[in-house]
Amino acid sequence: MFQWLTQRKRSFGYAFSGVWALFSTQPHALIHAVAACVVVAIGIYFGIDKVEWAILILTIGVVIALEAMNTAIEFLADAVHPDQHPLIGKAKDVAAGSVLIASIAAACIGAVIFYPYILQKII
């Protein structure tokens, strides 16, 4: 049992190290984090409901998780083949594209959630 707990602690340490590497080396990850903080502040300001919070939290998590996967792919690709290679370039482009797609979807979700609140404030 003690060994199992020690292994879990070590695993969490590796995961937190990965999160640190993400936010300390990737400017876009910081942009996503700032955007998430802004969205949370707006959600608090408008007093959104539990379902809207759940949707926003999931959306934020997906975007940041995809940014992390994109970063992992870039790190791995650079380690395997540091020189330019067309297939490595395509893999990196597709990974970056997945973050872009999720970010656009997140912006649309934010618009759908916040539009009624903003409209209510204007009227």
Q: Catalytic: which of 36, 67, 71, 110? A: 67
Query: Does 67 participate in catalysis according to the annotation?
Result: yes
Q: Which long-range contacts (CB under 8 A, 24 or more apart) does 70-74 make?
A: 70/95, 70/96, 70/98, 70/99, 71/21, 71/22, 71/25, 71/26, 71/29, 72/18
- Enzyme catalytic residues: 67
